[in-house]
Structure 1
Amino acid sequence: MVNATARKPQDLMAIRFIQGYFESCVFAGTQYILGSWYTKQELGRRTGLFTASGLAGGMFGGFLQTGIYSSMDGLRGLEGWRWLYIICGIIGLPVAMFGYFFFPDTPHTTSAFYLTEEEKQLARERMPIMVESESILSIAFVKQVLSSWYFYGFCMLWILGNCSESQSSQSLMNLFMQALPDKNYSVSQLNNYPTGVQAVGIVSTLVWALGTDIWGGRWASGYYVAVTAIGNAVILITPSSTVAAKFGAYY
C-alpha cells in the first residue's frame, strides 16, 4: 500500500527494496514449516499448492490491474496504478492477520488453538526430532554453513537459475510486448496476455508436484525446468523467431 505514495521511480525502488528485504524469508520459512508437518511422500503436492498459489496471485493481479485501470484511473485524482497498490494492500491486511493468528509453527512448538492435543501429538509422532538436544541454530552450525562450498555453490546456481528463467518469472513478456515496434497493444492487453504465463505455470507446477509424490524422483522436474528454460531462451534470442513463437516461448 505504501507503494501508492511514490512520487518518483527512486521512491518506488526504495520501497520495493525494503519490502523485498522483509519478504525474503517467506519462501524459505514456508518450506521449512511445510517440511516440519509433512513427510517426503506428502511434501511435493503441498509445496506445489503453495507455489501455485503465488502464481495464481500474479495471474489474478493482471486482471485486477485491467479492471482498476479501466474503471478507477483518475478517480479522486489518483492514477490507476496507485489505486492498484491501495486495493492490493487492503486485500493483504486480512490475509496478514489470518497468518498471524493461524500460522501453526512446527509440530513441536505449535500453540495453534484450532488443533487438539491429540492432533498435535499425532503430528509430533509423524515427524519426530532426530536428536532431541540438538540446537536448530548455533554458532557452530553457522560456521559450518559459511565454510562449506555448498552454501556458495548452490546460492550461485539459484541466482543463475533465476536469471535464466527470468523470461517467465520476472514479467518480461509485458516489456517485450511494449518493445515491439509494429504493435500497439492496449493497457488491457499488456496486463492480460502475460497472465497466460502464470496459468501454464500453475498447471505445470501441480502436475509435477503430484507426480513426484507418486513416483518419486524429484530430480526429473529439475531437468524439465532446465530443458524448457534453455529451449525458451533460444527461441527468444533468435532474431528470426516470429512474434507468435516468442509468445509461445514465454508461455
Structure 2
Amino acid sequence: MAAHGLDYKTTAELDRKASIELIENNGDLKQFDAGSTADARERQPTVETCFEGYTEEETQQRGKKLVRLIDFRVLPILILLFLLNILDRNNIANAKVSGMSKDLKFNNLDYNNAILAMFVGYVAMQIPAGFILAKVPPAFFLSGAVFCWGIISMCCGFIKTKEQMIALRFLVGVAEAPFFPGALLILSSFYTRKEIAVRIAIMYSGNSLSNCFGGLIAAGVISGMEGKGGLRGWEWLFVLEGAVTAFVGIAVYWVLPSYPSKCKFFDEEQRRLSVWRTTQDAMGEADERETSLKKGAKLVFKDWKILMLIFQQMFISCSQSFSYFMPTIVKTLGYNTNQTLLLTAPPYMFAFICSVAVAYSSSRFNERGYHIAVPMAIACVGNILVIVLPKSQVAGRYIAMFLLCLGSYCAFNLSFAWVTSTIPRPKVKRAAALSLVNGLANASHFFSPYFWTSSSSQAQADRNGGIALAVFSILVTCTAITIKYTLQAQNRKLDRLDEEDKPYTGSLEGIPKGYRFIS
C-alpha cells in the first residue's frame, strides 16, 4: 500500500474511498467500487476523524494549516468589508453633530426618519437577498452590493434637501442588505461550529472598530476639508468614505471566494479537505447539496427555534441603537464638536477588545447562552449609570459609556454564530434563516431611533433613550438564558429519538442524525 493509503487496495480503504466520493459528489449516492449498487445506495454519510487515508494526527495538522490559510485569505477581506459597511451606515451620526442637521433644516424628527428610511430599505431587501444568496455565488453578490452602497453613500455628499437625504438613505439600506447574511454564509461554509464563533466575532469587530475609527476619521475630514471645493466638511465625509467603499467593492470580486469547492487559492487536496471538515462537522451531511427554495422556506418557518433567535436578535439590535446617537450622548459631557468625535473612539475600542475576548471564551468552552447574558447585564448597568449620574460626574458618566458599549457588541456576533450552529443543514435553509433573522432583527430600527425623542428637552430625550436601552439589555439576558435551556432540552430529545431509532420531525427536520445543538 502506498503512503497514506492512497491506492485504496484494502476493503477498509475502499470504504473510505466511497465516503470521499460521496462528499465530492455533494452527498449524492452512486455506485462505488467498494460494493454493489444497492449497497452504495444504502450507505449513509458517516462521521470520520481521518481524511483520505491520513492518520488522525496528520488530518488535524492539515486542518490547522488550512484554517490558518482561511484566516489570512478570507477573514481579513470580510473584516474590511464590514468595517466599510458600518462606516457608511453610521457616518450620518458624525455628520449630524457637524452641521448637517442645520444645513438641511432638519426638525426634531427628520434625523430619526433618515435612520428609519435606511432600515426600511434594509429589511425590505433582506429576505429576497437571502433566497438569491442561496442560488448565486455570495462573493459575486457581495461585491456588487458593496460597490452600489459606496456610490449611493457618495451621493449623500451632494444633496441639498432633507427629502433627498432620506431617499438616499433608503437606497443605502437596500444595497447593504445582502452583506451580513452573505458574509455569514461564506464563513459557515469554511469553518466548523467550534471555529466559527470567534471568526464571526473578529469579523464583527469591524463594527466597533469602524465606529472607533469613524469618529477619528470624521474629526480629521470635517476639520481639514471644511469649505474645500465648495463643500462642507460633513459633505466631504460622505464623498470620501463612499468613494473608498466603491473602489474596494470592485477589487474584492477578484479575491473573495464563495465556497471551499471553488476556492482558487486552495489546491485540490485543500478543497477536498475543506469540504470534508464542514461535512464531518455536520455529522457527514454535505453542505452544498441542492435543495429547492420552497423546501428551504418550509424548513425555516416550521422551526420555532428560529423565532426565538429572531426575538433575541431584535432585542440586541434595540440595545445597540445607541450607535446612531453616540456622538450626541458623548456631547452631553460638555466638550466641543471635534473633542466629542475624538472621545467616541475609546468606548468602541474597549467594546472591540471585550467582544473578541468573549468570543474566544465562548469558542473554547463551546457555550453561548451565558456569554451573551452576562455582557448584556453589564450593559444594563452602564445604561443606568449614564442616566442617574449627575452631569458634574464627567469621569463616571464616561466610564459608564464604556460599559454601555460592551454588551451588545459582545452579544451580537455570538447570537449569529448561534444561528449558524442551530441551523446546520441544508445550505438553502441556513441562507434563508440568516437573512430572516438579520432582516427582522433590523426591523427593530423601525422604532428604536425614536427612543431619543422628547417634546420637553434634549436631556429628557437622552433619559428616555437610556431607559429603553436598559430594558432591552435585560430582555436579551432573559432570552439568551431561555434559549440555552431550551436547546439543552432539544438535545435530550435528540438523544431519546436516537435511542429509539426514530426520525427527526417537526422543528428538528433537516437536523443531521447525531447532531447536537450548542447551548
**What residue number does 1:220 align with?**
370
> CA offset at residue 48 of structure 1?
1.9
Matched, 1:116 2:267: yes
1:166 is displaced (CA, Å) by 2.7
CA distance in 1, matches of 2:195, 2:244: 30
Q: Distance in 1 between matches of 2:182 and 2:293?
A: 18
How many residues matched?
A: 244
How far 1:78 sits from its partner (Å)?
A: 0.2
Distance 1:102 1:53, change over 3 A: same
Q: Which position in structure 1 is the counterpart of 2:126?
A: none
Q: Which one has the largest radius of gyration?
A: 2
Cα deviation per residue 1:199-249 (whole Å; 9 max; x = unaligned)?
011101111122222232232320122212211222233264734332222
1:244–1:13 CA distance, 2 compared to 1 (3 A): farther
CA pair 160-44 structure 1, distance change in 2 beyond 3 A: closer
1:160 aligns with 2:315: yes
* 1:49 is aligned to 2:202: yes
| Structure 1 residue ranges, 4+ long, deviating more than 4 angstroms after superposition | 131-134
Whole-Å separation in 1 of the counterparts to 2:314 and 2:287: 35
Contact 2:358 2:371 in 1 (8 A): yes
2:397 aligns with one of 233, 237, 246: 246
Structure 1 counterpart of 2:94: none
Query: Partner of 1:19 in structure 2?
Result: 172
Distance 1:106 1:64, change over 3 A: same
TM-score where L is the length of structure 1: 0.86
Q: Which one of the candidate residues 267, 278, 289 is aligned to 1:127?
A: 278
Correspondence for 1:204: 354
1:74 has 2:224 as partner: no
The aligned counterpart of 2:35 is none
For 1:47 and 1:133, locate their aligned partners in 2 and report how far apart those are by CA, in whole Å. Answer: 21
| d(CA) in 2 for partners of 1:133, 1:247 | 48
The partner residue of 2:244 within 74, 81, 91 is: 91
Q: In the alignment, what sits opposite 2:160? A: 7
| Distance in 2, Cα, partners of 1:143 & 1:86 | 43
Counterparts of 1:161-200 in structure 2, within 5 Å, are 161-167=316-322, 170-179=323-332, 183=334, 185-200=335-350
The superposition leaves residues 67-116 of structure 1 with CA deviations (integer Å, 9 ceiling, x where unpaired) of: 111211000110011111111122213321232122211224x2x33222
Partner of 1:146: 301
SS at match of 1:17: helix
Identity score, percent: 22
Does the residue aligned with 2:254 lie in a helix, a strand or coil? helix
In structure 2, distance between residues paired with 1:189 and 1:115: 47
Query: 1:27, CA displacement in angstroms?
Result: 1.6
8 Å CA contact retained: 2:330, 2:344? no
Q: Is the 8 A contact 2:389 2:397 kept in 1?
A: no
- Residues 193, 137 of structure 1: CA spacing in aligned structure 2 closer, same or farther, 3 A cutoff? farther
**C-alpha separation between the residues in 1 aligned to 2:163 and 2:332?**
23
CA distance 1:153–1:210, shift in 2 (3 Å)? closer
CA gap of 1:153–1:14, structure 2 versus 1, over 3 A, is farther
Identify which range, 27-36 or 135-144, moves more after superposition.
Answer: 135-144
Contact residue 173 and residue 250 of structure 1 kept, 8 A: no
- In the alignment, the residues of structure 2 paired with residue 122 and residue 133 of structure 1 have an alpha-carbon distance, to the nearest angstrom, of 14
Q: Which residue identity lines up with residue 344 of structure 2 in the other structure? A: P
The answer to whether the 8 Å contact 1:165/1:229 transfers is no
Shift of 1:148: 4.2
Is 1:59 paired with 2:212? Answer: yes
Provide TM-score, normalisation by structure 2: 0.44
Contact 1:171 1:194 in 2 (8 A): no
Structure 2: unaligned runs, 5 residues or longer:
1-153, 403-519
Amino acid corresponding to residue 257 of structure 2 in structure 1:
P
- Report the alpha carbon displacement of residue 173 of structure 1 after superposing the two structures with TM: 2.6
Letter of the structure 2 residue corresponding to residue 199 of structure 1: M
Structure 1 residues 135 and 203: CA distance shift in structure 2, 3 A:
same
Shift of residue 62, structure 1, vs aligned partner: 1.2
Residue identity in the other structure for 2:216: F
For structure 1, list consecutive stretches of 5 or more residues without a partner in the other structure.
Answer: none
Q: CA RMSD in A?
A: 2.3
Contact 2:189 / 2:287 at 8 angstroms: preserved in 1?
A: no
CA offset digits 1:27-68 (Å, max 9, x no partner): 222122111111122222211220112322222221111111
Deviations 1:121-153 (A, max 9, x none): 221121226157853452132133234444444
Kept after mapping to 1: 8 A contact 2:330/2:343: no
**In 2, distance between residues paired with 1:201 and 1:61?**
14
Is the deviation greater in 74-83 or in 209-218? 209-218
